[in-house]
Amino acid sequence: MKKNLKIIFATILILVLILLKLISSIQTKLDNKEFVIKPGDNFLTIASNLKKDGIIKDKNFFVVYAYLNGDYAKIKPGDYIFNGEYNLSQILKKLKNNLGITVTIPEGFNIFQVENELIKQGIIEEKFILTDYKIINLKEDFIKYPFLKYVNAENNLEGFLYPNTYYFLKDMSIKNIIYVFLDNFKNNVYDKIKNEIGEKDIYDKLILASLTEKEAYFREDIPEILSVIQNRIDKDMPLQIDATLCYIKMQNNYLNDKIIDCGELTNVDKALKSNYNTYLNKGMILNPICNVNYDTFRLTLSKTITDYLYYITDPKTNIAIFAKTLGEHNENIKKYLR
């Protein structure tokens, strides 16, 4: 009996495979048919859209065929034009080989660097389309992105442009480009921490994370750097964070069509007039200065208690050297920086 069942199953499987092969060889004639796969579209959505647009005849056969071949996981977002005759194999081959426009946003990039990269890649055409886009323009999207509700409406999207590799489509609107970034921030940060932190606190943590991202070479130094920031705020001391001066210089360079670079900091830079200048202004800055990944953000959720008020970075090892008093700090400067 078991032997007969095996024979029956084997026969059915062979017949199914033959049927799939026959169906997969059937060609569909398409005349300059455009098809778009958006970043985030899942395979079943893609299959449904292919059927709706008349590119495939049967969704179920396409799904089974793609799963058996392992091609379902290789389909990429992009703009596709089908012109000619295509069978299932040829359709899948095409959908695997168009990547759209690929852009990698490194951790620590600020909004000016992100916009510059998008311009270089031909995703947006003009400067300030992204940098000048305000939170208030996304008011109708606060339900989907609740972490935006407690951000100043006039702020831009600095801090929410999550570092990742993206596939953008040609001629995407700025709003759809922003949705791609916000979806990544929501999936990679907000959804992971929303049960541990109030929505009102997320932006404040994002600011802290952006400071430590630019100040700490090693992630292990971040908890102590966070403690220095808090201790200085508690004592009504200016934060005196060099990364904020770099942000001002990079912002000014971008506005003046110069290379987005910080260059070497000097005492003159400490007098730069800006709300970001933590040498002139006490308290926390009101906006992030770059975009960070989940691991860096996560470190802001824990509190490390120290007596540290100062730190420098050893130029040889890039390790942060901490001090409790100005005297200790000056000794560290003599030892490591002179």
Report the percentage of the chain scoring pLDDT > 70.
92
- At 292, is the secondary structure helix, strand, or coil? coil
Under DSSP, the state recorded for 139 is: G
Q: What is the pLDDT of residue 294?
A: 97
Structure tokens of 225? Answer: 């750097």
User: Is pLDDT of 1 > 60?
Assistant: no
Q: How many CB atoms lie within 10 A of CB 277?
A: 21
Give ranges for CATH 3.30.1490.480 in the chain. 2-96
Angle (CA) 123 138 284, round 5°: 95
- Is 80 exceeded by the pLDDT of residue 146? yes
| Contact assessment for residue 154 and residue 134, using Cβ atoms and an 8 Å cutoff | yes
Kindly tell me if the per-residue pLDDT of 108 is higher than 60: yes
3-class DSSP state of 52 = helix
Element (H, E) at 310: strand 310-313
pLDDT the model gives residue 334: 94
Question: What pTM was computed for the model?
Answer: 0.80
Instruction: Give CA–CA dist 249/66, Å, rounded.
Output: 51
pLDDT digits (tens, 9 = 90+) for 225-270: 999 999 999 999 999 999 999 999 999 999 999 999 999 999 999 9
pLDDT, position 61: 81
Name the DSSP class of 263: -
Nearest-CA neighbor of 301 among 233, 214, 206? 206
pLDDT at 94 over 90: no
Q: Decide yes or no: CATH 3.40.720.10 for domain 2-96.
A: no
Give 25 or 143, the one with higher predicted confidence. 143
Query: Once rounded to an integer, what is the mean pLDDT over residues 39-67?
Result: 89
Checking if the pLDDT of 179 tops 70, the result is: yes
Convert the pLDDT of each residue in 188-234 to its tens digit.
999 999 999 988 899 999 999 999 999 999 999 999 999 999 999 99
What's the mean per-residue pLDDT of the chain? 90
* Mean pLDDT calculated for residue range 164-183: 90
Structure tokens at 33: 């048919």
pLDDT, residue 113, reads 98
Torsion of CA 321, 325, 330, 336, to 10 degrees: -10
Looking at mean pLDDT, say which of 34-43, 81-90, 254-263 comes out highest: 254-263
Instruction: Using pLDDT thresholds of 50, 70 and 90, give the confidence band for residue 14.
Output: low
| Residue 79: strand, helix, or coil | strand
Dihedral of CA 86/38/62/9: which sign?
Answer: positive
pLDDT of residue 99: 67
